[in-house]
Structure 1
Amino acid sequence: MSQHDQRRHDDPASDPASDPASDPLSDPASPAARAAAVDDELARLYPDAGCALVHDGPFQLLVATVLSAQTTDARVNTVTPELFERYPDPAALAAARREDLEAILRPLGFQRAKAGHLLGIGAGLLERHDGVVPDSREELVRLPGVGRKTANVVLGNAFGQPAITVDTHVGRLARRLGWTSAKDPLRVERDIAALWEPHRWTDGCHRLIEHGRALCTARSPRCQDCALAAGLCPRVGV
């Protein structure tokens, strides 16, 4: 062995096992690749992840998403069958009696505010959109009770437009994965968008939500059972 080869042999930097670039977590040049790998692994774990709100079409999804504020999707699904049977379209919803809406929505809490939102949504869709749910964020957020998160749910799941929905699970996992340090949902959305290609946005968020419910919980996350712990998750703040 030549002296040059001996120096290479003795130099830890020449050993691939000691090369920081071989560790995906220590390679600052490929955060997008690691974020894609996370989504690929979650797609394997949760192949059926999707919108948990039971709906048929954009109108029902819009209404159900507005109702999901401050409650669970599962609870929303218990009241929407009666709601949509009685008020199947924007015209029927706009003509509803507030007290009847409040009675249906009472199990969700905040029924007075939510009934007001639904009445306003029905009227807004009739007055500005001929009873059709718009497929633009700008128009959706003009409707009562509709913010960016709700608009993104509708755009991504009803219209097939790439959209990132930042709920409590998505925000928490994005921070633990080191994708963002922000707590503001819009900043979190932008940080995720900088890492994921658009085709991952909608379903990728569903997968993050599933993982947040199953393992990466707010308290006592089950890192020992998590497939991401083996090289993909730095466990920031855990």
Structure 2
Amino acid sequence: MAKVVKPAKPLPAKKAVSPAAAKGIRARQIAASEPVATKKAVGRTKKPLAPERIAAIIDALAKTYPDAVCALHHSNAWELTVATILSAQCTDARVNMVTPALFHAYPTPKAMAHATPEELQPILSSLSFFRMKAKSLVGAAKVVTEEFGGQIPQTMDEMLRIPGAARKTSNVVLGSWYGIASGVVVDTHVLRLSRRLELTLNDDPVKVERDLMQIIPQTEWINFSHRLIHHGRQICEARKPKCVDCSLETVCNSSDKTWSTH
């Protein structure tokens, strides 16, 4: 018995496409075929460490933040040391909420040296890693009292002997209180902005500090840190930088810019 073959259904007629629509379709086809790198070019500065560019960055920050200072509340070198130790992975605003009660209860290194970490913990409980920080503060108080006569030292080597006082804390205290330019403060803001501005390719704070010390004049180390930190807080945020309001926009070619004039 012969097999009955059904006739194929006719293909539906193609809809007419307007010239404007056809142009849009073609544009999307071309865009889809382009390599990813050509869709969004990553801007790079030809000579990011050129002296004139570094000078322009320093000058722009100085004009934008002429009065920038350390945001941690303190009245002496010991209080600044304590506040900076507490500021690790925590905002300055949060630290400033905690330190008044802490300094009222333990106003001197000697007073805190006689305390236990457990006694400090309730005061510090709203801070990140408060148990570890309580331990560091008691240890710092003992070293400052027993080895430095209750006074915060004025050299980097001595500062680094204080528990909890790494290079960041040491640079903050030496620079902000004593006016000693021993290095560049590298916190999360300085680290982020230094990479965005192509001042370093490193992501380790110690290496970033070393790189900055090589290109920033020593006379600018203290102010440069303060100003870059303020800029990071107010304008150059981590997730969505406010490039339209940025005084460094004309010298910045970061790939995550949200607005650009060049």
**Pair in the same fold by TM > 0.5:** yes
The alpha carbon displacement at 1:32 in A equals: 2.4
Structure-2 residue corresponding to 1:203? 223
- CA contact under 8 A between 1:177 and 1:236: conserved in structure 2? no
Structure-2 residue corresponding to 1:136? 155
Matches within 5 A, 1:80-229: 80-162=99-181, 163-229=183-249
The alpha carbon displacement at 1:85 in A equals: 1.4
- CA contact under 8 A between 1:170 and 1:212: conserved in structure 2? yes
The alpha carbon displacement at 1:63 in A equals: 0.5
The alpha carbon displacement at 1:100 in A equals: 2.5
- CA contact under 8 A between 1:170 and 1:209: conserved in structure 2? yes
The alpha carbon displacement at 1:99 in A equals: 2.9
- Quick one: distance in 2 between partners of 1:174 and 1:67? 24
**Cα deviations across residues 93-135 of structure 1 (Å, max 9, x unaligned)?**
1012433311111111322211111111111111111111111
Identity %: 47
- CA contact under 8 A between 2:117 and 2:134: conserved in structure 1? yes
Secondary structure in structure 1 of the residue aligned to 2:252: coil
- Quick one: distance in 2 between partners of 1:153 and 1:73? 13
**Cα deviations across residues 175-196 of structure 1 (Å, max 9, x unaligned)?**
1111111101111111111111
Evaluate the alpha carbon distance shift between residue 108 and residue 34 of structure 1 in structure 2; reply closer, same or farther with a 3 A threshold: same
Q: Alpha carbon RMSD of aligned pairs, Å?
A: 1.7
The alpha carbon displacement at 1:83 in A equals: 1.0
- Quick one: distance in 2 between partners of 1:145 and 1:220? 32
Q: Which amino acid aligns with 1:180?
A: T
- Quick one: distance in 2 between partners of 1:194 and 1:236? 25
Matches within 5 A, 1:18-33: 26=46, 28=47, 31-33=50-52
TM-score, with normalisation over the residues of structure 1? 0.84
The number of residues matched between the two structures is 212
TM-score, with normalisation over the residues of structure 2? 0.76
Q: Which amino acid aligns with 1:84?
A: F
**Between Structure 1 and Structure 2, which shows a larger proportion of helix residues?**
1
The alpha carbon displacement at 1:152 in A equals: 0.9
Matches within 5 A, 1:32-43: 32-43=51-62
Q: Which has the larger Rg?
A: 2
The alpha carbon displacement at 1:215 in A equals: 1.6
Evaluate the alpha carbon distance shift between residue 233 and residue 90 of structure 1 in structure 2; reply closer, same or farther with a 3 A threshold: same
Secondary structure in structure 2 of the residue aligned to 1:107: coil
Evaluate the alpha carbon distance shift between residue 90 and residue 38 of structure 1 in structure 2; reply closer, same or farther with a 3 A threshold: same
- Quick one: distance in 2 between partners of 1:29 and 1:219? 23
- CA contact under 8 A between 2:76 and 2:177: conserved in structure 1? yes
Which sections of structure 2, spanning at least 5 residues, go unmatched? 1-44, 258-262
